[in-house]
Structures are given as structure tokens and as C-alpha cells.
Amino acid sequence: MRISMKTLAVALAGTAMAALTSMPASAQKAANTVRFAYDQAPENVDPFFNNVRIGVIIGANVWDTLIYRDPNTNEYKGQLAKSWKQIDDKTIEFELREGVKFHNGEEFDADDVVYTLNFISKPENKVVTQGNVNWIEKAEKLDKYKVRLTTKEIFPAAIEYLAGPVVIHPNEYYEKVGPKGQNEKPVGSGPYKVSNYVPGKSITLELNKDYFKDSPKPQPKIGKIDIRFIPDRQTQMAEMLSGGGDLIMHVPKDQADQLKTVPTLQVVSGETMRIVFMQMNIQDGTPAPALKDERVRKAIIHAIDREAMVKNIVGEGSRVINTICFPSQFGCTDEGAARYNYDPAKAKALLAEAGVKDLTLDIVAYRERNQTEALIGYLQAVGIKTNLRFLQYAAMREQIATNKAMLTHQTWGSFSVNDVSAATPNYFAFRSEDITRDPAVRDLLNKGNNSVDPAVRKEAYKGALKIIADKAYATPLYSLPVYYVANKDLNFKAYPDEMVRFWEMGWK
């Protein structure tokens, strides 16, 4: 449920405003605590068995990676690895950092890297996002602080992934408890450690006093992070207005605009790498056979006024996209790809030409409900009725993977990996969420993923993106900005990768 503008206006007036303007932040400063609310709960805190954004955020604060990408300069720096060297097209060797300890006191060394990489690379261990790990052939220990990594194919984006979603687990603990135990009692080496976790409700992070001093992540200043999973936007907003919270994100544009007037709060926004799109199930056995007709799919795209949505609903920092990738990602282009302007008359004509009448489709979605409702309105205007199924992300993904979804309203942040290999293949390279299954697209994406020649990679991705657009396999919509609302006394910076870096925060 979204808080109404009327309710918000009332909350911003009268006694509520008087209370807000006098409310001190000193209590939170004295406790050195940040209270953060998020609308989704991670399906598993182990970063390899989750792909909802809050899980990615928790992962970056609790775990470390071999390599760190500086969010300001995009420069790669050593994190758990001191240095690395490309031996040949498929081999990288890492010199590891000494003196690092995991939160349970276990010493970090080559055994942790080798065990983690070999475990996650095995398909039978069912890492949720296979594209993050399925390029790894094997890891070998050369000595206590030296590791060799071999990729299955030439994979130019390896360093980008090793600086992103590929965290390192403590081998002794992980071998004993596995992903289930790592979810129940998480153990990493990062700037924050988990002190309490109630699945589906909350997770508490506490400053790691023993965090290694040479990390490219700054030493954390905030002592405790209380994260609560609150699906109801109205409740989140009430918490911020009453002083019961310090930070929320993904605030709808209209509410963010209103909250700019509240003197105790700050509103920060900006474009992210997250793209928004709709999938259309054309697999054999699809519950919506009408979607197999290219004219119906094109009608759906023509029905939606993406420019108006960006301007009026999505907000500053958004832009319309024409292909299923984020423009800054290596290999992302819309050159030569079909464009679909807003044309409801053409949409109706295409549906008539396809002989489709009284079409009703289920649409599954999991966030930005106001945007889903706008999409539903556009479809209804051209004669397509929809039933909204608003789910938690894991449940939505299950619907897609089991061929039960018709239309989806999706977003994808690519785990902040700035390469097309982290985006388009997840939905079009015959993985679990591919509900199109075009072999030509799959082969071009695989060629782009595994070529050493940047020009060959770009051309392959361009070809795949063109087919997806020309055949209207999906509806590209726009990039998604994020509006954050924070306590005005919290030092907080928003980044395009949607990463909330608690280790950088402090009280003014």
C-alpha cells in the first residue's frame, strides 16, 4: 500500500510538523545507530543464494571480495587480494592479504578462496544467479597466500565480477554449515558483522572492531545498523516522519517531492544502473498463448507511454531505454534495434490484425507498485485487461522459472557489474528466467561473454539486442532512479550502483 498524498499532506502539517521540527537526532547520535527500513526481505543472507537488492547491500557490508572497485573512480584495488596477474587468457593468479580474520576468528588464507570459488562454480550447488559464477572452471592453492583461478572460457569481465558479487566465505565454517547455516548465522570478513537475524523481520549489523586496516573500504564509524524489512510503504514513511527511522530508499517520486519540505529530513536521488522492463512468456506451454504472436507483443510495447512515465511517475535521473541493458554497460547499444513509439491506435490495430479480443493477462511484479499500476492503465486503454499479482521477489522468480508467468514487470541491477554479460544473458541465454528461448540470441550472447576481442564482443551483443528488440521479445522501459530519504544529520552519499555503504556513513 502506498501512503496517499492526502495522508502525507496531513502528516506534514500541524502538530506533526511541530513535533518534527523539534525532534533531536541526538538520541541516534548518542547510540551511534542507523535505523534502515527496506521493503523486501532477502531470501537468504548468503550472497550467493539471494539476488534481491537488500541482500546485495547486506553482502557488501558483511563480506569482502578479492578485488574492490572504487565507486568514485572505478579503479580496481586489492581487497582480500593484495595483487593479481593475468597469466594467460583463462588464468589469473592472486597474491592474498595476510593478517585478515573472519568474524568468527578464522584466519583468512588461500583455503577460503579455493573452497568458496570451487563450491559456487558447481551447478549442483545451485547459486541463484548462475551468470555470476558459471564462468569459473576451478581455483587452486599455490601456497598459503597464493591462488590460481582458471575460467571455463575466455571471460574478459572476470575482474569486474570478482570485485562485485563474488564474496569470499570462511572455508572451515562454510564447509560445516553450508548456505543454510551461513544464512542463519552469517560469518564474513567485512566492516560489519551480523549480531542478530530474524528471517523476514530484521537483521542487526555491528561494527567489526578488528576490520583490517589496509582495506580499500574505509574503517566504519557507525556502531550499529538496525535493518527492518517493512513491505508497507505507508509504515516506512510514518517511521521517517515520526523520527522512528533514519534511512529508506526506493521512495516514489511524488512522496519524495513532498518530503523535501520536512526540515528534519534530506532527500537524495540519482540514476542507477537498474533497468525496468517487461517480459512476455512465449515458451511452449505458456499460460498466455496470445503472446506467441509478434503482433501482440508489439502492441503491448506501443501501448505504453514511456516518456510520460519517466516524466510524471519515475522521476529525475531516469531515461527511456530501447534495449535490455543499461547504457553504460560494456556492449550495451540500441543501434539498429527496432524502436516502438507510444501509439495506442497502432497497438489496437495490431491486436485486431492478430484477431485478439478480450485478452486478459496476469502481470507479476514485486516493487514500484505505482509504476505497475500505470502500466496496467496503459494496457487497459488498448483493450488488454490484467490481473496484478504483487509478490515477494523469490515468489515472482519461481513463477517465471516454472513457466507460470504471463507478463512480468521486472527490474534488474546487474549486481552493479558494468558489463552486458551481467544483464541481458540472465533473461535471454536459456537460464531459469529466460521465457523466450531463442537459440540465435543465446549463441550471440555467449559469443559476447567469451571473446577476448572487445570489437567481437560488442558486435555479438549488438546482434543479440537487435533480435530481442526486432522480435519484441520484451518491453524495455527505462532506467530507475532511486530516491532516498534520510535523517538530515546523517552523512550519506548515494551511488549509481544502488549500494548503501554503511561503512562510509557517520553522524554530522
Alpha carbon distance 248, 226 (integer Å) = 12
Secondary structure (3-state) at 22: helix
pLDDT digits (tens, 9 = 90+) for 211-221: 999 999 999 99
pLDDT digits (tens, 9 = 90+) for 356-374: 999 999 999 999 999 999 9
> What value does the mean pLDDT take over residues 36-48?
95
- Ramachandran bin of 463, using left for φ above 0, alpha for ψ from -120 to 50, beta for the remaining angles: alpha
> What value does the mean pLDDT take over residues 23-44?
82
Span between the terminal Cα atoms of the chain, in Å:
33
pLDDT digits (tens, 9 = 90+) for 377-396: 999 999 999 999 999 998 99
How would DSSP label each residue in 412-467? Answer: E-GGG--BGGGTTHHHHSSSTT-SS--HHHHHHHHHHHT-S-HHHHHHHHHHHHHH
**Domains within the chain, CATH numbers bracketed:** 5-42+193-270+482-507 (3.40.190.10), 67-179 (3.90.76.10), 272-481 (3.10.105.10)
pLDDT value for 452: 86
Q: What is the pTM of this model?
A: 0.85
pLDDT value for 416: 87
Query: Where residue 26 falls among pLDDT bands split at 50, 70, 90?
Result: low
> What value does the mean pLDDT take over residues 473-493?
96
> What value does the mean pLDDT take over residues 195-221?
97
pLDDT value for 3: 47
DSSP label at 131?
G
* Burial profile 300-314: b = 16 or more Cβ within 10 angstroms, e = fewer: bbbbbbbeebbeebb
pLDDT value for 316: 86
Secondary structure (3-state) at 142: strand
**Which residues, at least 6 apart from 395, have a Cβ–Cβ distance to it below 8 Å?**
none
Reduced 3-state DSSP string for 382-424: CCEEEEEEECCHHHHHHHHHCCCCCEEEEEECHHHCCEHHHCC
Secondary structure (3-state) at 332: coil
CB 53 within 8 A of CB 156: no
pLDDT digits (tens, 9 = 90+) for 428-442: 999 999 999 999 999
Alpha carbon distance 270, 365 (integer Å) = 23
Alpha carbon distance 433, 427 (integer Å) = 5
How would DSSP label each residue in 224-263? Answer: EEEEEE---HHHHHHHHHHTS-SEE----HHHHHHHTT-T
Alpha carbon distance 131, 137 (integer Å) = 13
pLDDT digits (tens, 9 = 90+) for 300-349: 999 999 999 999 999 988 999 999 999 999 999 999 999 999 999 999 99
pLDDT digits (tens, 9 = 90+) for 233-279: 899 999 999 999 999 999 999 999 999 999 999 999 888 999 999 99
**Which residues, at least 6 apart from 6, have a Cβ–Cβ distance to it below 8 Å?**
none
Query: Where residue 27 falls among pLDDT bands split at 50, 70, 90?
Result: low
Residue with cell 572455508: 171
Alpha carbon distance 107, 187 (integer Å) = 12
Task: Please report how the helices 110-120 and 171-184 are oriented relative to each other, as an axis angle in degrees rounded to 10.
Answer: 50
